[in-house]
Amino acid sequence: MSQKRIVIIGGGFGGVKCARTLRSQLRKGDAEVILFNSENHLVFSPLLADAVGSSLNLQDVTVPLRQLLPDVICRMEEVYSIDPAADCLEYKGHDGLPRQLHYDHLVIACGNISNLNVVPGMVDHAFPLKTVGDAAVLRTQVLSRLEKAEVCDDDERRRWYLSFIVVGGGYSGVETAGEINDLVRSSRRFYSNIREEDISVTLIHSRDQLLPEISPSLREFAREKMAGAGVTIRLNARVQLATGEGVGLAGEFIHGGTIVCTIGSTIAPMVERLDTPKQKGRLLTDPDMRLCGSANVWAIGDCALVINALDGEPSPSTGQFAERQGRQCAQNIVRLMGGEPTRPFSFRVLGQLCSIGGHNAVAEMFGFKLSGFWAWFAWRGVYLFKLPAWSRRIQVGFDWAWLVLFPRDLSYLKTEVTDRVMHAHYEAGYYIFKQGEVAMNFYVIEQGEVEICRASAEHPDGEIIATLGPGSFFGEQALMDNRPRSASIRARSTVEVIVMGQNVFTSISKTLAPLRSALMATITRRTPNVWQERPRVRAALKEFDLADFIEPAPEPLLLPTETLIEVTRRFGESDEPLFLVSTDGDRLEGMVTLTDLLRAQANGLGRETPLSEFMIRQPATLSATDTCLIAAAAFREHGHKLLPVVRDGESLGIVGVIRARKLIARVMQVVGPPAKPAATSATVHDSSSEAVV
Ligand SMILES: Cc1cc2nc3c(=O)[nH]c(=O)nc-3n(C[C@H](O)[C@H](O)[C@H](O)COP(=O)(O)OP(=O)(O)OC[C@H]3O[C@@H](n4cnc5c(N)ncnc54)[C@H](O)[C@@H]3O)c2cc1C
C-alpha cells in the first residue's frame, strides 16, 4: 500500500482524538497524519471557567499539540478553503501567502466560533469565553474591576464596578458565574473598601430552568445553591441589548461593569465557504461521518451535524461527542483503507457534570444522580482524568490542592508591550517591514518615498505594486484586521517616518474622528474590488511601457518665488490642472494644483504670498523606470489627474508628466469597461490585492 496522506483541520477534542487513534492504528509507512490548527495547543474548554476564576493557571487549560501528538505532523497554520473535487486544501503559509496541499482523506474538525452578534451591543461591550485568550482577558477584567472598586470613592460607581452579568444558563454560563462569584467574594477580605453588599453576580437565562440537559431535581439544586451563594438568577429573561453600562431586558435595565456572553456561536468562515449541504450552519454528514456524497472528506465535532445511530438524534455540541466522533471517524478511515465497510456513529452518553461554585456541582453518571460536594469532587476527578497528558494532570491536581491551603491568586499580568510614537530613518533599499511579519506599528511618511512589494507565486521575490510619498500612511489594515502583513514596504529613497505603536494607533484612531475618516477613506480606496476584471487590467498595465505615456511638463515651470496673484493668472491662462515648481528648471521642488490655489485664497493668504508657502512640497512622483502598474496605483492613492515623472527619487530631475486620463483610456481600449460588480466573496482572499499591508 502506498503511503496515504490524512489531513485533519482542527486540534480540538475531535481532531486530537482522531489523530491519536489514527497513529495508534496505522503504521507510519501506511499513512502520514497532518494536523492543522490555528494555535499550537489543545484548549481544554471545560476548565476555562476555572482559569477565569483563578482556580487554575491559564497554562493549565492548554496542552501543547506537538508534545501530545509526537508522530503527527503538526502545522500551526490556518486553512482557509477546501476544494473537495480536487482533493486539495489551501492554507496560509508562514509568510501570509496561500499554499496548497493534496490529501487522500480530510477530516474537518474545526469547531465553531463565538458570535456576539446575537444581541445588539454585545460585540462592543461583552466578553466571550471560547479561547484561552478570552479567559485571560476576562480574568484580567474581573481582577482589575476589584482594584478599581477598591479606590473608588463614589458608592454607586463602586457597586457598578462590582456588578458582573453572565448571559446564558448552559454549562459554560453556570460555571463562569459560579467561578466569578467565588473569586470576587472569597477575595473581598484583601480589599478594605469592598463590602459584601457591593458585590453582585447576575446570571441571565432565557428559559425557565438552568442547565436544560440535566434532570429537573439537579437543576433545582443548582439554582438554589447558586442563589444561596449570592448569584442572582434571572430566568425567562431575554437580553435585548448590551451597552457600556449594562444590559437591557424587556422593560428593565440591569447595570453592570462586566458582561460575559456565553450564548451564540457560528460556523468558521472556512466551513461557510464550503459548498456542501449544511443544517443550522453545521456540515451535514452521512451516518459514518463522511460529508454527504463525499468519498474521503469527513466532518466531526461542533462543526458537523452527525446523527447518533443509538437514538437517531443529532449529536449535541459537546467535547464528549467530539472526542468520540474523532475516535470512530479514525476507525472508519482505517476500515476504508483496509477495504472494509465503515460503521455509523453511535455513542451512549457517559454522564453530565457541571460545577456550580462554592465546592458544589451537579452530576449524572451511569444513571446515578449526585449533587453538592461529592458531585464536585467527582467533577474534578473526571476532568483530571480526562486531561490528555500526565504532565497537565499533575499540574492541575497540584493547583487545585494549592487552593485548599492558599487563597486564589489576585495578580494579573498586563500583556501590552511598551507603546511608543517615534521617528525612524531608513536608507534607500532598506525594508521597513516584510510580508508575513506580525503587524506592530502604523507609519506616516514625513519625507521620501516607499515601495509596496508583494511576493506571489508568479513573483516569489516580490513585485512593486505601488509607491507612497510624504503625507501618506501605511500599515493600518493589518493592524485593524489583526493579521500578518500582506506586503513588504521598502524605502525607495531616504525615508523619514513617524511610527505609532498598536495601542497608540488604536486609541487615536478611535477617538480622533478626522483620522478615523481618513483611514476609512484610504481603506476603501485601497480595497481591490473596483474592477472585477482586475487580472486583465493588471496584465494590460504590465504590458504597457511607462515611457509611452510621458509627455512634457505643463508650461511654464513655476518659480517658488512667484506670488499668489501671479499663480492665479497662470491658471487663468491655461487648462492644466497643476503646475510643477522648480528654480533651476530641472530639479522638482514642488507642485501646485487648482485646489491648493483655492485653499490658499480661502485661507486669506495675501496677493504677494510666495508660491513656496502654499505649494505641495515633496509631491508624489513617478520615476522614469517605474511600471504602469505603479503609476495606476499612484493615481488611485493620491487622487491627482496628473503626476510628475522624475529621473530618480534622489536627483528629482524633471522628465515630464503622466496623465491618468491617458492611462485609463489605454486600459479601456484593451480590456473594455469594468464589469458590473458580482455578489461574490472571491475577492476576500485575493492574493493579488493592492490593499496595503
Ligand atoms: C467555556 C466552555 C465550557 C465547556 N464545557 C464543556 C463541558 O464541560 N463538557 C463538554 O463536553 N463540552 C464542553 N464545552 C464544549 C466543548 O468544548 C466543545 O464541544 C468541543 O471543544 C468541540 O470540539 P471540536 O474538536 O469540535 O472543536 P474545538 O475544540 O473548538 O477545536 C477546533 C480547533 O480548530 C481550530 N481551527 C478552526 N478553524 C481552523 C482553520 N481554518 N484552520 C486551522 N485550525 C482551525 C481552532 O483553533 C480549534 O483549536 C465547553 C465549551 C466552552 C466554550
13-36 confidence digits (pLDDT tens): 999 999 999 999 999 899 999 999
Predicted confidence at residue 599, as pLDDT, reads 87
Peptide bond into 470 cis (omega under 30): no
The pLDDT of 47-59, averaged and rounded, is 92
* CB atoms near residue 604 (< 10 Å): 7
- Summarised one tens digit per residue, pLDDT across range 366-383 is 888 999 999 999 999 998
Please give the backbone phi and psi of residue 50, each rounded to the nearest 5 degrees, phi first: -65, -35
* Residue 264 near ligand 1, beta carbon < 6 Å: no
Predicted confidence at residue 303, as pLDDT, reads 96
- Summarised one tens digit per residue, pLDDT across range 582-594 is 999 999 999 998 8
CA of residue 303 to ligand 1 center, whole Å: 9
Please give the backbone phi and psi of residue 581, each rounded to the nearest 5 degrees, phi first: -120, 130
CA of residue 321 to ligand 1 center, whole Å: 11
Predicted confidence at residue 523, as pLDDT, reads 67
Alpha-carbon Rg for the chain, nearest whole angstrom, is 31
CA of residue 274 to ligand 1 center, whole Å: 20
Predicted confidence at residue 111, as pLDDT, reads 95
CA angle, residues 629, 630, 632, in degrees to nearest 5: 65
CA of residue 322 to ligand 1 center, whole Å: 8
* Residue 130 near ligand 1, beta carbon < 6 Å: yes
CA of residue 529 to ligand 1 center, whole Å: 35
* Residue 257 near ligand 1, beta carbon < 6 Å: no
Q: Does the pLDDT of residue 356 top 80, yes or no?
A: yes
Atom of ligand 1 nearest to the CA of 80: 41
Q: Does the pLDDT of residue 671 top 80, yes or no?
A: no
Q: Does the pLDDT of residue 677 top 60, yes or no?
A: no
CA angle, residues 136, 418, 157, in degrees to nearest 5: 55
Asked if 364 contacts 377 with a C-beta cutoff of 8 angstroms, the reply is: no
138, three cell numbers? 476576562
Number of alpha carbons in the 13 Å side-chain half-sphere of residue 46: 21
Q: Does the pLDDT of residue 532 top 90, yes or no?
A: no
Q: Which of 21, 44, 274, 302 to mutate to test the pocket of ligand 1 (most atoms within 8 A of CB)?
A: 302
Q: Are strands 313-314 and 307-308 parallel, antiparallel or unpaired?
A: antiparallel
Q: Does the pLDDT of residue 328 top 60, yes or no?
A: yes
Asked if 84 contacts 101 with a C-beta cutoff of 8 angstroms, the reply is: no
The pLDDT of 594-598, averaged and rounded, is 88
Atom of ligand 1 nearest to the CA of 383: 8
Q: Which residue has the cell 493588471?
A: 538
Q: Does the pLDDT of residue 520 top 80, yes or no?
A: no
Q: Does the pLDDT of residue 60 top 50, yes or no?
A: yes
Question: What residue's CA is closest to ligand 1, atom 44?
Answer: 37
Predicted confidence at residue 693, as pLDDT, reads 53
CA of residue 12 to ligand 1 center, whole Å: 5
Q: Does the pLDDT of residue 507 top 80, yes or no?
A: no
Asked if 328 contacts 345 with a C-beta cutoff of 8 angstroms, the reply is: yes
The pLDDT of 489-507, averaged and rounded, is 85
3-state secondary structure of 165: strand
Atom of ligand 1 nearest to the CA of 130: 53
Task: Give one DSSP letter per residue of 302-331, joined into a string.
Answer: GGEE-EETTTTEEPPS-HHHHHHHHHHHHH
Q: Does the pLDDT of residue 123 top 90, yes or no?
A: no
Peptide bond into 556 cis (omega under 30): yes
- Lowest average pLDDT, out of 38-47, 233-242, 412-421, goes to 412-421
CA dist 671 → 532, 627, 665, 677, 678 (Å):
11, 18, 10, 16, 18
CA angle, residues 102, 108, 110, in degrees to nearest 5: 125
Question: What residue's CA is closest to ligand 1, atom 20?
Answer: 319
* Residue 171 near ligand 1, beta carbon < 6 Å: yes
Q: Does the pLDDT of residue 684 top 60, yes or no?
A: no
Question: What residue's CA is closest to ligand 1, atom 16?
Answer: 319
Asked if 240 contacts 119 with a C-beta cutoff of 8 angstroms, the reply is: yes
The pLDDT of 592-608, averaged and rounded, is 87
3-state secondary structure of 142: helix
Atom of ligand 1 nearest to the CA of 131: 53
Q: Provide CB contacts within 8 A for 136, sequence distance 6+.
A: 51, 58, 415
Predicted confidence at residue 426, as pLDDT, reads 86
Distance CA 674, CA 654 (A): 33
3-state secondary structure of 258: strand
- Lowest average pLDDT, out of 21-25, 414-418, 553-557, goes to 414-418
Q: Does the pLDDT of residue 404 top 60, yes or no?
A: yes
The pLDDT of 83-102, averaged and rounded, is 90
**What confidence tier does 117 reach under pLDDT thresholds 50, 70, 90?**
confident
Question: What residue's CA is closest to ligand 1, atom 33?
Answer: 10
Q: Which of 7, 9, 13, 76 to mutate to test the pocket of ligand 1 (most atoms within 8 A of CB)?
A: 13
| 525 or 294, which is more confident | 294
The pLDDT of 221-239, averaged and rounded, is 94
* Residue 318 near ligand 1, beta carbon < 6 Å: yes
Predicted confidence at residue 533, as pLDDT, reads 44
Say what angle helices 216-228 and 171-187 make with each other, to 10 degrees. 20
- Among residues 461, 499, 494, 464, which one has the least CA distance to residue 479? 499
Predicted confidence at residue 1, as pLDDT, reads 61
Q: Which residues pair with 200 in a beta bridge?
A: 163
Q: Does the pLDDT of residue 232 top 90, yes or no?
A: yes
Predicted confidence at residue 125, as pLDDT, reads 87
- Lowest average pLDDT, out of 74-88, 491-505, 546-560, 564-578, goes to 491-505
Predicted confidence at residue 265, as pLDDT, reads 85
Q: Supply the DSSP symbol for 668.
A: H
**What confidence tier does 436 reach under pLDDT thresholds 50, 70, 90?**
confident
CA of residue 638 to ligand 1 center, whole Å: 46
* Residue 304 near ligand 1, beta carbon < 6 Å: no
Asked if 618 contacts 594 with a C-beta cutoff of 8 angstroms, the reply is: no
Measured in residues, the chain has a length of: 693
- Among residues 222, 132, 217, which one has the least CA distance to residue 173? 222
| 342 or 495, which is more confident | 342
* Residue 79 near ligand 1, beta carbon < 6 Å: yes
CA of residue 419 to ligand 1 center, whole Å: 33
Asked if 222 contacts 364 with a C-beta cutoff of 8 angstroms, the reply is: no
- Lowest average pLDDT, out of 27-36, 473-482, 584-593, 608-617, goes to 473-482
The pLDDT of 170-198, averaged and rounded, is 95
Q: Is 146 exposed, middle or buried (CB count within 10 Å of its CB: 0-12, 13-18, 19+)?
A: buried
The pLDDT of 525-539, averaged and rounded, is 60
* Residue 19 near ligand 1, beta carbon < 6 Å: no
* Residue 302 near ligand 1, beta carbon < 6 Å: yes
Tell me which amino acid residue 364 is.
E
CA of residue 112 to ligand 1 center, whole Å: 7
User: Rounded mean pLDDT of the chain?
Assistant: 87
CA of residue 225 to ligand 1 center, whole Å: 29
**What confidence tier does 296 reach under pLDDT thresholds 50, 70, 90?**
very high
- Among residues 261, 218, 333, which one has the least CA distance to residue 116? 261
Task: Give one DSSP letter per residue of 451-483, joined into a string.
Answer: EEEE--SS-TT-EEEEEE-TT-EE-HHHHHHT-
* Residue 13 near ligand 1, beta carbon < 6 Å: yes
* Residue 46 near ligand 1, beta carbon < 6 Å: yes
Atom of ligand 1 nearest to the CA of 111: 27
* Residue 554 near ligand 1, beta carbon < 6 Å: no
* Residue 213 near ligand 1, beta carbon < 6 Å: no
* The 578-581 sheet, strands edge to edge: 578-581, 590-593, 616-617
- Residue percentage of the chain with pLDDT more than 90: 52
* Residue 82 near ligand 1, beta carbon < 6 Å: no
Q: Where are the beta strands (DSSP E) in 349-468?
A: 351-357, 360-365, 368-372, 421-426, 431-433, 441-447, 450-454, 463-468
Question: What residue's CA is closest to ligand 1, atom 37?
Answer: 110
Atom of ligand 1 nearest to the CA of 326: 25
CA of residue 411 to ligand 1 center, whole Å: 28
CA of residue 48 to ligand 1 center, whole Å: 11
* Residue 111 near ligand 1, beta carbon < 6 Å: yes
Q: Does the pLDDT of residue 673 top 70, yes or no?
A: no
CA dist 267 → 111, 274, 279, 305, 609 (Å):
8, 11, 11, 12, 62
Q: Which residues pair with 579 in a beta bridge?
A: 592
The pLDDT of 353-372, averaged and rounded, is 89
- Summarised one tens digit per residue, pLDDT across range 128-144 is 999 999 999 999 999 99
- Lowest average pLDDT, out of 6-10, 85-89, 511-515, goes to 511-515
Distance CA 39, CA 42 (A): 8
Predicted confidence at residue 108, as pLDDT, reads 98
Predicted confidence at residue 519, as pLDDT, reads 73
